[in-house]
C-alpha cells in the first residue's frame, strides 16, 4: 500500500490509535495532518492554533472545525483521506450519569465525526474522490454496562457511516467504520487489573489489541485494494465479538 501524494487528516492523533494511524500513513508516503486539543504538557490549547502539519481544534465545535478544514484546504488544495478517530469515554452507570457526561461523549464522538465529515465532504465531492474511515467500537455493537453514552455514540457512528456511504457513493467516495475491541492505549490503561483480567478471558486471541492492529486495517480501507468496500463496519477485536 503506497500513499504517495495523498493528503490525510487524522483527528485525535496525539497518542494511542490516532498516533499509530498517523505513523502508518506517513510510513507509506502520505502527507498527514494531525489534530488534537491538548498541548504536549497536557494543557488545553488555544483553540485554532496550528502548526505545519498539526491543527489544534476541538472536533465537537462546529465553527472551529469548519475553520480548520478551510485552512487545510486553502493551504493544500484538497484532502484525500479523513480518519475520524478523536474520541473520549465518561463511564458511569446510567442512573448516576450526569447530563454533561452524556452530552460531552455524544458531542466529541458523534457530533465530532459529523462536523469533520461535513467539513471535508464538499471538496471530496468536487474532486470526485475521497476515503473516510470512522473509528467506532465493539461496544457500539454489543453494549457495555457503564458505557450507555459511549455505546450510543459509537452505534450512532455506524448508522451515520452507512447513511453517508449511500449519499456519496456515486461521487467515488468511500466511507467505512472500524470497530476495535479492547486496545492497549491510555483509554484502557484506566481499567483496573481485575477488570483487564476479566476482559482478556472474553477474547479468544487472549490479549488486548495494539494500536498498530487498528492502523493496518485503516490503511487497507484507505487503499485502492478497498475501492469496492463502502458502508461497512470492520471488526478488530481478537474474536471477542463475531
Ligand atoms: P486516547 O489514547 O484517549 O486518545 C484520544 C485522542 O483523541 C487524543 O489524541 C485526544 O487528544 C483526542 N481528542 C479527545 N477529544 C478531542 C476533541 N474534542 N477534539 C479533538 N481531539 C480530541 O484514545 P484511543 O484509545 O487511542 O482511542 C482512539 C479512538 O478509538 C476513539 O474514538 C476511541 O473511542 C476508539 N476506540 C478505542 C478503543 C480502545 O480500547 N482503546 C476501543 C474501541 C474504540 P488530546 O491528547 O488533546 O486529549
Give tens-digit pLDDT for 171-224.
Answer: 999 999 999 999 999 989 888 999 899 999 999 999 999 999 999 999 999 999
Separation of 168 CA from ligand 1 center, angstroms? 27
Nearest to 183 by CA among 219, 237, 136: 237
CA–CA distance, 165 with 70 (Å, rounded to integer): 23
Residue 105 CA to residue 90 CA, distance in Å, equals 7
Distance 11 CA to ligand 1 centre (A): 9
Query: In degrees, to the nearest 5, what angle opens at C-alpha 32 toward C-alphas 121 and 184?
Result: 100
For the chain, the distance separating the N- and C-terminal CA atoms, rounded to the nearest angstrom, is 27
Average pLDDT over residues 112-119: 98
Question: Is residue 121 included in any domain, yes or no?
Answer: yes
Q: Report how far residue 169's alpha carbon sits from residue 93's, in angstroms, rounded to the nearest whole number.
A: 39
Residue 48 has pLDDT above 80, yes or no: no
- CA pair distance 32, 177, nearest whole angstrom: 19
Of 173, 165, 20, give the one whose Cα is nearest residue 85: 20
The confidence band for 53, taking pLDDT boundaries of 50, 70 and 90, is confident
User: Is pLDDT of 24 > 70?
Assistant: yes
Total count of domains within the chain: 1
Q: Is residue 212 part of a domain?
A: yes
Which among 127, 30, 2 is positioned nearest to 13, based on CA atoms? 30
Spatial neighbors of 190 by CB under 8 A, at least 6 apart, are: none
Task: Please identify which residue in the block is written with the cell numbers 474522490.
Answer: 129
CATH code at 85? 3.40.50.720
What pLDDT is stored for residue 39 in this prediction?
72
Residue 150 is predicted with a pLDDT of: 98
Mutate to test the pocket of ligand 1, among 13, 45, 86 (most ligand atoms within 8 A of CB): 86
Which atom of ligand 1 has the smallest separation from the CA of 37? Answer: 47
User: What order do you get walking across the sheet with 31-36 strand by strand?
Assistant: 54-56, 31-36, 7-10, 81-84, 130-135, 173-180, 233-236
Q: How many CB atoms are located within 10 Å of the residue 67 CB?
A: 17
Residue 33 lies in a domain: yes
Whether residue 41 is predicted with pLDDT greater than 90 in this model: the reply is: no
In ligand 1, the atom with minimum distance to the C-alpha of 45 is 47
Q: What's the pLDDT band for 44 if we cut at 50, 70, 90?
A: confident
Q: Worst-scoring range by mean pLDDT, 10-19, 31-40, 106-115, 171-180?
A: 31-40
Q: How confident is the model at residue 77 (pLDDT cuts 50, 70, 90)?
A: very high
pTM for the predicted model, two decimal places: 0.97
Distance 170 CA to ligand 1 centre (A): 31
Please check the confidence at residue 129 and state whether its pLDDT lies above 70. Answer: yes
d(CA 111, CA 85): 12
Judged against a pLDDT cut of 80, whether residue 234 lies above it is answered with yes
Please check whether residue 242 lies inside any domain of the structure: no
Is 30 part of any domain? Answer: yes
DSSP state of 106: I
- The domain in which residue 101 lies consists of 7-236
In a domain, 167, yes or no: yes
pLDDT-derived band of residue 233, with 50, 70 and 90 as boundaries? Answer: very high
pLDDT tier at 40 (50, 70, 90 boundaries)?
A: low
Residue 1 lies in a domain: no
Is residue 30 within 8 Å of 8, Cβ to Cβ?
Answer: yes
Mean pLDDT of the 128-148 span: 98
Amino acid at each position: 500500500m503506497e500513499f504517495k501524494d495523498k493528503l490525510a487528516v487524522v483527528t485525535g492523533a496525539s497518542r494511542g490509535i490516532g498516533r499509530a494511524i498517523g505513523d502508518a500513513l506517513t510510513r507509506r508516503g502520505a502527507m498527514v495532518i494531525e489534530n488534537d486539543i491538548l498541548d504536549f504538557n497536557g494543557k488545553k490549547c488555544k483553540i485554532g492554533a496550528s502548526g505545519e502539519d498539526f491543527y489544534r481544534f476541538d472536533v465537537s465545535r462546529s465553527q472551529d472545525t469548519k475553520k480548520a478544514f478551510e485552512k487545510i484546504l486553502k493551504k493544500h488544495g484538497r484532502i484525500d483521506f479523513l480518519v475520524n478517530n478523536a474520541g473520549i469515554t465518561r463511564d458511569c452507570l446510567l442512573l448516576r450519569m450526569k447530563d454533561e457526561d452524556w452530552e460531552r461523549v455524544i458531542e466529541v464522538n458523534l457530533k465530532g465525526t459529523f462536523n469533520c465529515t461535513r467539513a471535508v465532504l464538499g471538496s471530496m465531492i468536487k474532486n470526485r474522490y475521497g476515503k473516510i474511515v470512522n473509528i467506532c467500537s465493539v461496544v457500539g455493537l454489543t453494549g457495555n454496562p457503564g458505557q450507555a453514552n459511549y455505546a450510543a455514540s459509537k452505534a450512532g457512528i455506524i448508522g451515520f457511516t452507512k447513511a453517508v456511504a449511500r449519499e456519496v457513493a456515486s461521487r467515488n467516495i468511500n466511507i467505512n467504520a472500524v470497530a476495535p475491541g479492547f486496545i492497549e492505549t491510555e483509554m484502557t490503561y484506566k481499567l483496573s487489573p481485575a477488570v483487564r483480567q476479566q476482559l482478556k478471558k472474553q477474547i479468544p486471541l487472549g490479549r488486548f489489541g495494539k494500536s498498530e492492529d487498528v492502523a493496518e486495517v485503516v490503511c487497507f480501507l484507505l487503499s485502492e485494494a478497498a475501492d469496492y468496500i463502502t458502508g461497512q463496519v470492520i471488526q478488530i477485536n481478537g474474536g471477542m465479538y463475531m
